[in-house]
Amino acid sequence: MDAVQEQQLRKLVTVFLEENAKVNLSAFRTQEGCWIGNVLDSTAAVELFESFRIPNFEFRILDIGTGGGFPLLPLAICLPEAHLTGMDSTQKKIDAVNRIKDSLGLKNVNLICGRVEVIGHAKQYRETFDVVTARAVAEINVLLEYASPFVKVGGKIILWKSMNAEKEVSGSKKAQDALRCPFKESHIYDLPGDFGKRQLLIFEKKSPLSGTYPRAVGVPKKNPLK
Ligand code: SAM
């Protein structure tokens, strides 16, 4: 991140903490905790975007279950020419993120309120994103069903996970096959202090997805592919 981006990210922390005092968005309630646990954790993905070799200005990124706007808002600051969409089923969170986005003057973010299982069937969003991100939303086999309908063939899914995700990855083999999104690689990064090592898991969409997916609201979580 450059100096201007760092300044904007610091401002994000201040504005976010003000919103977090009114609407419960995140467990991080201090400047330091929010800076490391939300902002640096989100920006860990920025260098990956360069390796995807899609020109920055063409990127369409969707963050599902964006909650209070992470990783959505830090990515929007660090990738100013990309177009970012945040999606969440909770209206009050979407309203809060809209206010944060407006007070930061971010022009490259738009927000949608709804369930991914419903919006994943809408023609205007289906298989139209280069990258779909998700942090702290669900297990991998559920997340692949949430994310795959939105990703273009050749696009990527990036999931934020702890270092103990081995079982989750192996347990998602059936979902990877059915949803045409095999596991590609893991990107390990280090956060300061007690936060320690974490990883981004990257899946790549290999071919168009059957209209069967996503299944009806609640089904992916209640009856995950496995
Ligand atoms: N990604 C944010 C973060 O890391 O701080 C928020 C994580 S929060 C624990 C999970 C969010 O996912 C919640 O805001 C919830 O409303 C949203 N969510 C869960 N299932 C969803 C679904 N099926 N469709 C849309 N949003 C969903």
Mutate to test the pocket of ligand 1, among 35, 39, 88 (most ligand atoms within 8 A of CB): 88
Distance between CA 129 and CA 127 in Å, rounded? 6
Q: What is the pLDDT of residue 8?
A: 97
* pTM of the predicted protein model: 0.96
- Which ligand 1 atom minimizes the distance to the CA of 63? 1
Q: What is the pLDDT of residue 100?
A: 97
Q: What is the pLDDT of residue 215?
A: 97
| pLDDT (tens digit per residue) in 131-168 | 999 999 999 999 999 999 999 999 999 999 999 999 99
Residues of the chain where predicted confidence (pLDDT) is lower than 50 = none
Q: Name residue 87's beta-bridge partners.
A: 64, 112
Across 53-150, the runs of DSSP E, i.e. the strands, are 60-64, 83-88, 109-113, 129-135
For 106, the token pair is 């971010």
Mutate to test the pocket of ligand 1, among 137, 145, 158, 213 (most ligand atoms within 8 A of CB): 137
**Residue 210 DSSP class:** P
Return the percent helix, strand and coil in the chain, to nearest 5: 40, 25, 35
Q: What is the pLDDT of residue 56?
A: 56
Q: What is the pLDDT of residue 172?
A: 96
Question: How far is ligand 1, taken at its centre, from the CA of residue 65, in Å?
Answer: 3
Please answer whether residues 75 and 45 qualify as being in contact, where contact means their C-beta atoms are separated by less than 8 angstroms: yes
Q: What burial class does residue 28 get, using C-beta atoms within 10 Å of its C-beta: 0-12 exposed, 13-18 middle, 19+ buried?
A: buried
The residues spanned by each domain of the chain are 3-219
Q: What is the pLDDT of residue 226?
A: 85
What would the CATH number be for the domain defined by 3-219? Answer: 3.40.50.150
Ligand 1 in contact with 65 (CB < 6 A)?
yes
- For residue 142, what are the contacts with CB-CB under 8 A and spacing of at least 6? 220, 221, 224
Q: What is the pLDDT of residue 55?
A: 59
Write the Ramachandran bin of 109: left for phi over 0, alpha for psi from -120 to 50, otherwise beta: beta
Q: What is the pLDDT of residue 53?
A: 64
Q: What is the pLDDT of residue 24?
A: 86
Q: What is the pLDDT of residue 51?
A: 80
The gap from C-alpha 142 to its chain's centroid, in whole angstroms, comes to 14
Question: How far is ligand 1, taken at its centre, from the CA of residue 178, in Å?
Answer: 23
Q: What is the pLDDT of residue 57?
A: 58
Question: How far is ligand 1, taken at its centre, from the CA of residue 137, in Å?
Answer: 5
Distance between CA 110 and CA 125 in Å, rounded? 13
Residue whose entry in the numeric block shows the structure tokens 């059936």: 174
Distances 138 to 3, 50, 222 between C-alpha atoms, Å:
34, 26, 11
Residue type, 96: A
Distance between CA 176 and CA 141 in Å, rounded? 8
Distance between CA 92 and CA 125 in Å, rounded? 22
